[in-house]
Structure 1
């Protein structure tokens, strides 16, 4: 049995009038305070990890 996703993001698509659920298998950070203490390289890693899973319109 596959593990449950770490987080699920819900977005609304105007073009298809539908709700899109994006399941992320892991979170690359624990909380916003974690982001404040990261180096630029670590933040770029977070962005890359998120962009792998996010729909094109939500990518950073």
Structure 2
């Protein structure tokens, strides 16, 4: 599925960036992390290019 490759799940971000779920949502609410996107009724994701840009800005 090409669409899924364009998004990171919360679990993928937790593993890749060593952030807790609560930290991800706290940073999102504060405006220091990309906003989540509703992918389906019970699923959200974060746009991969936005997360990668956020990570690059940290360095």
Structure with more contact order per residue of length (Cα contacts < 8 Å, sep ≥ 6):
2
Q: TM-score range by the shorter chain?
A: under 0.3
TM-score (norm 2): 0.24
TM-score (norm 1): 0.24
Name whichever structure is richer in helix by fraction.
Answer: 2
The structure that has the greater radius of gyration is 1
